[in-house]
Amino acid sequence: MIDPSRFLSDLHNLRRFGAHDDGVIRTAYSRPDISARDWLAGQMASAGLNPQFDAMGNLFGLADGPSLLLGSHTDSQPTGGWLDGALGVIAALEVARAAQEVGGPKISVVSFQDEEGRFGVTTGSAVWSGLLPLTEADTLVDHEGVTLAQARAVLGDRVSGDVGPDLFTGFIELHIEQGPTLDNNDEQIGVVTDIVGIRDRVVTLTGQQNHAGTTPMALRRDAFQGLSAFNTRLNERLRNVVVPQSVWTIGHVDLTPNASSIVPGQVRFSIQWRDGDAERLRRMQEVIEATLNEVATETGLEVAMAPLLGLEPVEMDHALRARLEAGAETIAPGRWRRMPSGALHDATNVARLMPVAMLFVPSIGGVSHAFSENTNEVDLVAGLHVLAHAAGVEQ
């Protein structure tokens, strides 16, 4: 039987790995991430599942024979919340354990690696799904210049080999919403209709490092001024192209040399944009590139754009979605809705291989990717029951 208190206690046990403030610091391949995966492998084994690490560090807990796959990720953002990813993995563990106890149905569990993109965008599931070849992934670098190949060496002899997707009949991911919709409307469950697409790239603007006291303003080639002008102009230029659901973010900025008395010679920054429509993503890209080139020319800077990373928008499988909708109507009658996901998920990559569906529970205040991320226990448990219902473990 599904045991909500065992589920909540496991969720708090996982929270201890990399605990910081009310959240976690458990980035992919860090010591807390690997310790959490070792702990999870032990829990999987105790639940009667066969734990297997693949070369990326994706951790599967396999049922015996063809099974429905449930899960999410246990790595976190550099400063992350305790539920992002963790909820879907621990709920999967509880559903699989309950299924083992009563002799079926067959449920396997996964914790994908680097969903939070230390090295790219949902890197572990991108490799597992075949979207990104491992040899190519290995050359990706994090913001400190560490390659994925170097980082994943920490897995050592944990790696047991490939886990083929043909073992699984479908995939369901439970996740926190990470936005305000359910909380604002006092609803308990969101059944996801589709997941937005994303584009993400690193840009470098290079000017001339110089003395901040002696270099006349008119002669400067100041990389920060270039970034600042780009950001302001981009917000104006995108206005004609975007809809209210479109988002764009400059989230990581590395200014060189980053000193008060030096005109900065170089800035390296991320620019990321998301939308549910692939054509709009393309139009946003055109505006971004044109604005960058324009500002670079005007300010005497050189612009270099790293390869574009991204995922396409995807629709959820209708049959699996219907099972979640039936579960939502049973557990939270009149308090659920269908909704798109503005956050990315491993489900996007897994959808290349098998039918996929997702469900959300509310995020208090719509806050996520922050230490203060939280969800009421009653909502966490409601999500667990809807998942168990859709998996055929509860009626």
What is the per-residue binding string for ligand GLV in 105-124, x denoting contact by CB under 6 A? -----------x--------
Question: Closest CB to ligand GLV among 10 and 75?
Answer: 75
Write phi, then psi, for 351 (nearest 5 degrees). -65, -15
Residues 61-90 that bind Mn ion (CB under 5 A): 84-85
Question: Binder to ligand GLV among 19, 343, 354, 370 (CB under 6 A)?
Answer: 343
CB of residue 20 vs ligand GLV: minimum separation in angstroms? 18
Exposed e or buried b for every residue in 165-202, given b needs 16+ CB within 10 A?
eeebebbbbbbbbbbebbbeeebbbbbbbbbbbbbbbb
Question: Closest CB to Mn ion among 63 and 314?
Answer: 314
Question: Closest CB to ligand GLV among 167 and 343?
Answer: 343
Question: Closest CB to ligand GLV among 159 and 370?
Answer: 370
SS3 327: helix
Question: Closest CB to Mn ion among 106 and 274?
Answer: 274
Pairing of β 67-73 and β 59-62: unpaired
CB of residue 124 vs Mn ion: minimum separation in angstroms? 12
Q: Is 370 exposed, middle or buried (0-12, 13-18, 19+ CB in 10 A)?
A: middle
Select from Mn ion, ligand GLV, none the partner in contact with residue 303, using the beta carbon and a kind-dependent cut-off of 5 to 8 Å. none
Sign (positive/negative) of CA torsion 269, 275, 280, 281? positive
Select from Mn ion, ligand GLV, none the partner in contact with residue 173, using the beta carbon and a kind-dependent cut-off of 5 to 8 Å. none
Rounded Cα gap, residues 187 and 190, in angstroms: 8
CB of residue 188 vs ligand GLV: minimum separation in angstroms? 22
Rounded Cα gap, residues 165 and 195, in angstroms: 21
CB of residue 176 vs Mn ion: minimum separation in angstroms? 8
CB of residue 331 vs ligand GLV: minimum separation in angstroms? 25
CB of residue 369 vs Mn ion: minimum separation in angstroms? 6
Select from Mn ion, ligand GLV, none the partner in contact with residue 344, using the beta carbon and a kind-dependent cut-off of 5 to 8 Å. ligand GLV
Nearest to 188 by CA among 334, 339, 320, 89: 334
Decide: 301 and 206 in contact? Cβ < 8 Å: yes
Select from ligand GLV, Mn ion, none the partner in contact with residue 247, using the beta carbon and a kind-dependent cut-off of 5 to 8 Å. none
Residue 83, interface with ligand GLV (CB under 6 A)?
Answer: no
Query: Which residues, other chains included, contact 77 with Cβ-Cβ below 8 Å and sequence gap of 6+?
Result: 27, 84, 116, 369
Rounded Cα gap, residues 127 and 136, in angstroms: 9
Question: Closest CB to Mn ion among 229 and 380?
Answer: 380
Rounded Cα gap, residues 24 and 26, in angstroms: 6
- Angle between helix 86-101 and helix 31-46 axes, rounded to 10 deg: 20
Question: Binder to ligand GLV among 63, 68, 271, 344 (CB under 6 A)?
Answer: 344
Pairing of β 314-315 and β 197-206: unpaired
Residues that bind ligand GLV (CB under 6 A): 116, 343-344
Residues that bind Mn ion (CB under 5 A): 84-85
